[in-house]
Chains A and B, each alone.
Chain A
């Protein structure tokens, strides 16, 4: 091949073409990365809003910051094996658990009596390299059904710098704009705060899919039902900002604590993309086995500290649903995890700069 005849277009035009190609690629990259799109709800913005509300507490989770590590095991009775081929559900299968009890909010020094909700996160270690992670709340429904609405709720509930309380007018404006919050508000009005982490029901809230051995999908939600009977928070407990951890330690000294893993199966047509709606009472429920918690550790050096309870870390046989909260949780938890692990790496004594309860 020889050099061609003189250029049909002048050299300046050719340089312009090259420049344009590069500029278009760089701009597209910046756009996809969100830099040219300030309106987009990114994980970064979600976590910044959580930090606006609670402050930055280095090394801690940006939500559910105050919590305790626990360990135990799950023993499957085989009842869920017909719905999901996940090995965790095989009859007699034992899976080690690393869990975490917590209260919602970004403040690691919060008062246990304040929030009406307790949370329980679990990591099931399966026999191969797979894991099942789930982060459950003690409530029947979630207040909102979309990440955007959750973000707006966070902004509306930002505490006032003087009173330390959210602006009531902003809150009621938010609830008025979001009728989907009604089931949650109705529950919150009458819900009693529990005296313990170990005597409440926890709920996945989001729907998931179980995939059986034949490849058939079943929409489900799961939850934990405790063996310990519910009792309400006492007035004496109310005075102690750390009563939940003390209670947990006392109960575990008496013996392991147990829950039944209850799987609720949707009927065709039940909402799977909306965590604000309960499914009707008569839906099939399966007791899949027993979760036993044996001991607790402080989160500063406990085994749950460096776990991100991303609800989409799932084994074969369990998958996410069309619930838009799931993707948002996965993205936001990862950003929270990135920030807190970076802070941990940067500080010589991880997660212990603040008083640890």
Chain B
């Protein structure tokens, strides 16, 4: 897992950027769909469920790619707390990308809802109906989503700090796949 490559591999970068767009979209779709009674509500919900399950599938692929290809080392002169924060935040992002769709799926099962991704495509129930479990998971789905958004803002701040202030090649390792100095 700790094998070092010089930069992020092409699959790692493709996955990072496609998933960055998907996860950001999911946050906006989710927060938007529960805040309107207009017809946007229905079509956003219809988008939310399949896109969320796609993220679940992709994050598994992504963890395999990471395990296979490794990640580049951070610059040697990076302060230890920033290094620790980078590693911790990346694991939090992975954990939330995995947890959010699983909670969404389990929550709908617990609420007794069919988990319909598209007309005719219904996922199996993960748990049997329970209002108590539904309620706990529904709460978690909201608060973990808000935490995910907060961590992404910090992540983006850090990426821009690397790209615009430190200009140490960390951002380029994810954009252009260039090596650190």
Contact = CB atoms under 8 A, between A and B. Distances in A.
Interface string B144-170: 000001000100110011001101110
A33 B37 contact: no
B45 interface: yes
Interface string B25-44: 00110011111111111100
B136 interface: yes
A249 interface: no
A190 interface: no
A326 B40 CA distance: 11
B5 interface: no
A342 B139 CA distance: 9
Given A1-B179, A313-B114, A344-B132, A32 B32 contact: yes
Nearest to A7: B167
A313 B42 CA distance: 11
A131 B113 CA distance: 8
B37 A332 contact: yes
A187 interface: no
A332 B179 CA distance: 52
Given A22-B157, A316-B120, A330-B45, A32 B129 contact: no
A42 interface: yes
A129 B124 contact: yes
Contacts of B115: 129
B129 A306 contact: yes
Q: Give the size category of B's interface with A.
A: 35 or more
A337 interface: yes
A168 B112 CA distance: 41
Interface string B82-126: 000000000000000000000000000001111110011011110
Contact of A29 (B131, B139, B149): B149
B116 A130 contact: yes
A312 interface: yes
B125 A129 contact: yes
Contact of B31 (A32, A306, A322, A338): A32
B180 interface: yes
A322 B39 CA distance: 8
Interface stretch (A9-17, A70-78, A274-282, A290-298): A9-17
A32 B28 contact: yes
Nearest to A18: B160
Nearest to B75: A3
B150 to A, nearest CB: 9
B36 A341 contact: no
Given A3-B168, A330-B45, A338-B138, A130 B157 contact: no
B148 to A, nearest CB: 11
Interface residues of A, number: 58
A42 B119 contact: no
Contacts of A236: none
Task: Tell which of B28, B41, B167, B180 has the most Cβ of chain A within 10 Å.
Answer: B41
A131 B32 CA distance: 26
A319 interface: yes
A3 B167 contact: yes
A183 interface: no
A18 B139 contact: no
A125 B125 CA distance: 14
Contacts of A129: 114-115, 122-125
B153 A130 contact: no
Nearest to A211: B119
A17 B163 CA distance: 12
The 8 A-B residue pairs with the shortest CB-CB distance in the complex, in nearest-first order: A316-B120, A34-B35, A328-B37, A345-B135, A33-B31, A345-B132, A341-B131, A32-B32
18 contacts: A11-B165, A22-B156, A22-B157, A33-B31, A42-B35, A42-B37, A129-B125, A130-B116, A308-B111, A312-B42, A319-B119, A320-B42, A330-B41, A331-B37, A338-B135, A342-B138, A342-B139, A345-B132
Interface of A: 1-4, 7, 11, 14-15, 17-18, 21-22, 25-26, 28-29, 32-34, 40-44, 46, 128-131, 147, 211, 305-308, 310, 312-313, 316, 319-320, 322, 324, 326-328, 330-332, 334-335, 337-338, 341-342, 344-345, 350
